[in-house]
Amino acid sequence: MESVTSDNLSAWEHAYSQFETPEEEIAKFTARLLALGADAWPRQAQVVELFCGRGNGLRALERLGFRHLAGLDLSPTLVAQYSGGADCAVGDCRVLPYEDESNDIVIVQGGLHHLHELPDDLARVLAEARRVLRRDGRLVVVEPWLTPFLSFVHFVCALRPAQLLSRKMWALATMIEHERETYEQWLAQPDLILREIRRSFDIAMLRFRLGKLMLVGRPRRQAQK
Ligand SMILES: C[S@@+](CC[C@H](N)C(=O)[O-])C[C@H]1O[C@@H](n2cnc3c(N)ncnc32)[C@H](O)[C@@H]1O
């Protein structure tokens, strides 16, 4: 695999890499997974993380004791940064390279808001997630959500002094700048997004916390029209 330097990272990837250190990210993912009920998930579960980026969500799962892990992301540069035990591959999450009903848990954290076509791309990812999940499987989604807290964060990170004082604020502002089209389209359509998820999944947990949607779904026997 190619070695990763800031020269071969795109501007968005570079900002993403600066937003949090790997250890900060692993701690964040671990806390999130526990808030989503990961303590109760069987450790022998087959888990796939879609849009896994540089794989720190997979590392959090490893630290929680999960051993059968796979990850998928479109960016070869980010996938090359992962060096754990999961089967981590480069690919498009709209077409999953996994067998039907071959996974117990499908996790998506911060990837759906990168999709270009709503609702079509979202419908494709969700249909694929449902296809590769066992009937008693779980879909776990964490994505940005336009709560008052997120609006406040947007306000602060757009301020130049905040960007100069805080690496995180600069990185967030830079990521938003480079993903603005898909990010804004995602934040503007909460009803459509939840409707699309409900077509394929029964919702078992739904929370809006600190600017995030946190959701656990169970595959519907039959997708709704
Ligand atoms: C905000 S990052 C999230 C990464 C990781 N889940 C995290 O939370 O740190 C979004 C990721 O989605 C990936 N991505 C965008 N479109 C994709 C697609 N169609 N299939 C697979 N990955 C995609 C990008 O390469 C990027 O790594």
Q: Which domains does the chain have, with CATH numbers?
A: 6-219 (3.40.50.150)
- Per-residue pLDDT band at 13 (split at 50, 70, 90): confident
Q: Per residue in 44-54, pLDDT tens?
A: 999 999 999 99
Is the C-beta atom of 144 inside 6 A of ligand 1?
Answer: no
Whole-model pTM over 0.85 = yes
CA distance to 1, 50, 86, per residue, from 81 (Å): 9, 16, 13
H-helix or E-strand spanning residue 167: helix 167-187
Place of tokens 């089967």: 87
How far apart, in whole angstroms, are the C-alpha atoms of residue 6 and residue 69? 28
Is the C-beta atom of 92 inside 6 A of ligand 1?
Answer: yes
Tell me if 91 sits within 8 A of 74, measured CB to CB.
Answer: yes
Is the C-beta atom of 114 inside 6 A of ligand 1?
Answer: yes
How far apart, in whole angstroms, are the C-alpha atoms of residue 129 and residue 108? 10
Report the separation in Å between the CA atom of 95 and the middle of ligand 1, taken as the mean of its atom positions.
14
